[in-house]
Chain A
Amino acid sequence: MDSSASVSRAGSTLLQVIGIMILAAGAVCLLLIALDFSPTAIVGAMFSGSLTSWLKFSQTLSIWVPLLLCSCGLLFTFQAGLWNIGVEGQVVMGAIAATILLRLPETTLPPTLILIGSLTAACIGGSLWGILAGLLKNRGGVNEIFGGLGLNFVAQGIILYLIFGPWKRAGIASMSGTDIFARDLWLSMPAGWRVAPIALILAISVFLFSLLLLNRTRFGLRVKAVGINARAAQLFHIRPERYGLLAILIGGGMAGLAGGLQVIGVYHRLIPAVSSGYGYLGLLVVMLAGYKALPVPLITLFFAWLAAGSIQLPIMLQIDSSLSGVIQGACVLSALLVHGLRSVRQR
């Protein structure tokens, strides 16, 4: 491709992005004005709630970490042509697996080793839960959307059982979760931070790893081949089922890691809502990214900012915080609409 063609393509992509942003922002603003809310006041509140100090910005980053991990995992399954809706359950199973190790009775093992072990366990837990959905699809012909969804419900049942049953708080079981872990089993966090630096480093490395694996290796190419045309891939001796399973294994591992980090880095205990919907939000992120890796960190940062900023809204303006979800959904639908309009015009 010569440079002028690539410049014009970049230009048209930029034009599309601007179109999507104007469309989504316009729709949401109209809704807010119709409800007699001031969009500028809302944006102002979200800025002051998330960007005016490092403490507040690190709050955004603490949402960014699990969202980026889930989205990276979803990149693999999307590229393999799978709708991996089971991420939510994979996050939960990762969190449970991490907690198992943290709850071991008094050991002489150094805390660092336990932490590394529990993060590894989290990856494995998420992977296994993902593979279950993959096997249901490959062996049973169960559509991965429903297999994954069913497994999400099962994971939710398991975590509720554990928190209300064997792992319940001394005295009374409650929705607030298990007992808090000993301090030396927390990920270290400098004063004035809301996110553990190790979690940040892990999330960024996982993203770079995904970028390389998907775009620069034969494995990535094969995963894409399966996603684009499974039957053609088979003719090149690429087994679609195996690559689908590998993609879901990698994706599950990343989702599980997100769950583990939530447990040891954020909540310091196991809570029923440990996954907080990041698995579902990741689906929206990757759709908005056009199933490509490169835009994912920016989009996740934007979504995380929306989520963090909207926490202030009920207190400052008596507006429900689900507004952030409305904006996120509006962005994705606008993107689909713009792509649709473009494809119809090109025809």
Chain B
Amino acid sequence: MEISIAVLSAGIAASAAPLLLAALGETLTEKAGIINLSLDGTILLSAMTGFVIAARFDSLPAGFAAAAATGMLSSLVLVIISIYLGQSQVAVGFALTFLCRDLAYFLGAPFARTAGPQLSISPIPLLADLPFVGPILFHHSLVVYSSFLALPLAWFFIYHTPQGLILRCVGENPEGCWARGIRPRIVQAAYTLIGGALVGLAGAAFSLAIKPGWGRPQGCEGIGWIALALVIFGGWHPLRVALGAYLFGFLQMLGILLQDVFPTIPAQIFQVAPFPLMIFTLVLIHLGRNSKGKKLLLLRLLSGNAPGSLGKNYRQV
């Protein structure tokens, strides 16, 4: 079988798009010092609402809006119980991820395996005809283009705008921000909600574009955990997080390709394999970073520190 690099790269860009959106959303949230562990459930729930609303009103924008709203609603629970009522972010996130998952299956059951709209490929005129680069970058659906746009935007926002500075300050030292007249809880709540909206969009990106349709399983189960791992092992830097997302996309494409090469090995193995491979790749990078690896330039580039107050609730006096 002939595999062209252009087709492979285009596949990676497409399959990594929702993961990238979710991971960037979580990066924003964690930069403000809040861990939103509910990603896996939230992606599933918003995939369901996105699909159902889009099918009911026969409108893709309505579907994406509903998914983003679902993501915000789910993170609102975290905002209330953790940021404002001081309960453990990890505990709330865990409970929320299981609640959202079952809620998605429960509410979505009547819509399983029904027909619904699907985002089509919209090639960018002229650019899509460029040799090699065209099919990789400019022959996709709007979801993939928005993931391409979200990455530099997130990077620029976090590191080169006054709002980004406030975001990072709150994550590092909320008490200090309070002293400077910034209200840390409002900032944390805002970025938790914005992150939730991006996670919601990632859910709709699955059910309306990458793996269209709704069912049990939908096919996006487990992605939320990968997104969470990417943020942590990517050192809370959007560009490294993106690198991880494309690596996962590569592993998934590889699984699909190898399935044809080794027909005797059951397909289920290839579907599951990218998940442990990804986690352990990240772990290996992490291990290398902790030990003597500091001298290697590559590993130094990959390392990053957690926001100072990550996971701790700010107690306002």
A residues apposed to B, CB below 8 Å: 35, 83, 136, 140-143, 145-147, 149-151, 153-154, 156-157, 160-161, 164-165, 173, 175, 272, 280-281, 283-284, 287, 319-320, 322-326, 328-330, 332-333, 336-337, 339-341, 343-344
- Please pick, from A140, A149, A332, the residue contacting B229 in the complex, using a CB distance under 8 A: A149
Scoring B residues 69 to 90 as 1 if CB is less than 8 Å from chain A, else 0, what string do you get? 0000000010011001111101
The contact of A320 among B88, B109, B265, B286, by CB within 8 Å, is B109
Do B102 and A325 have beta carbons less than 8 Å apart?
Answer: yes
Q: Mark B140-163, 1 if CB is under 8 A from A, else 0.
A: 000000000000000000000000
Nearest chain B CB to A136's CB is how many angstroms away?
Answer: 7
Chain A hits for B273, CB < 8 A: 157
| A202 CB, min distance to chain B CBs, angstroms | 27
- Report yes or no: A326 in contact with B229, Cβ–Cβ below 8 A: no
Judging by beta carbons under 8 Å apart, are A326 and B276 in contact?
A: no
| Nearest Cβ on chain A to B301's Cβ, whole angstroms | 19
Partner of B85 from the list A272, A328, A337 (CB cut-off 8 Å) is: A337
A-B interface, 7 closest residue pairs, ranked by CB to CB distance from nearest: A340-B85, A329-B99, A325-B102, A150-B279, A320-B109, A164-B266, A322-B105
Would you call A149 and B279 a contact (CB within 8 A)?
A: yes
Let me know if B269 is at the binding interface, CB within 8 A.
Answer: yes
A residues less than 8 Å from B105 (CB atoms): 320, 322, 325
Given contacts A140-B287, A146-B229, A320-B106, contact A160 B85 (CB under 8 A): no
Q: Which residue of B lies closest to A146 (CB)?
A: B229
Known: A141-B286, A142-B286, A333-B96. A322 touches B102 (CB 8 A): yes
8 contacts between A and B (CB under 8 A): A149-B279, A150-B279, A153-B276, A160-B268, A284-B94, A319-B109, A325-B101, A326-B103
Q: Which residues of B contact A157 (CB under 8 A)?
A: 269, 272-273, 276
Residue of B nearest to A324 (CB): B102
Known: A157-B269, A287-B95. A140 touches B85 (CB 8 A): no
The docked-state distance in angstroms from the alpha carbon of A281 to that of B102 is: 12
Q: Is the CB of B266 within 8 A of A160?
A: yes
Contact of B99 among A151, A160, A161, A330 (CB under 8 A): A330
CA distance A153 to B222 in the complex (A): 9
> Once the chains bind, are A154 and B81 in contact (CB under 8 Å)?
no
B residues whose Cβ falls under 8 Å from a Cβ of A: 37, 77, 80-81, 84-88, 90-92, 94-96, 98-103, 105-107, 109, 222, 225, 228-229, 232-233, 265-266, 268-269, 272-273, 275-276, 279-280, 282-283, 286-287, 290
Within the complex, the shortest CB–CB distance from A237 to chain B, in Å, comes to: 26
Instruction: Kindly identify which residue among B87, B228, B276 contacts A336, using a CB–CB cutoff of 8 Å.
Output: B87
Given contacts A164-B269, A326-B103, 9 further A-B contacts (CB under 8 A): A140-B286, A142-B287, A146-B283, A150-B229, A160-B266, A164-B268, A165-B266, A325-B105, A325-B106
Closest Cβ of chain B to A26, distance in Å, is: 15
Q: Which residues of A contact B233 (CB under 8 A)?
A: 146
Contact A340 B87 (CB under 8 A): yes
Question: Is B276 in contact with A140, judged by CB distance below 8 angstroms?
Answer: no
Residue of chain A at shortest CB distance from B35:
A145
Query: In the complex, what residues of B have CB within 8 A of residue A320's CB?
Result: 105-106, 109
With CB as the reference atom, state the residue of chain B lying closest to A333.
B95
Given A142-B286, A154-B276, CB of A333 within 8 Å of CB of B99 = yes
Contact A329 B280 (CB under 8 A): no
Of B87, B233, B280, most buried by chain A (CB within 10 Å of CB) is B87
Nearest-CB residue, chain A, relative to B95: A332
State in angstroms the CA–CA spacing of A149 and B77 once bound together: 24
Tell me the minimal C-beta distance from A115 to chain B in angstroms: 30
Whether the Cβ atoms of A333 and B103 lie closer than 8 Å is no
Q: Tell which of A328, A340, A343 has the most Cβ of chain B within 10 Å.
A: A340
* Shortest distance from the beta carbon of B213 to any chain A beta carbon, whole Å: 17
B106 and A326 form a contact (CB under 8 A): yes
Candidates A145, A153, A325, A341; contact of B272 at CB < 8 Å = A153
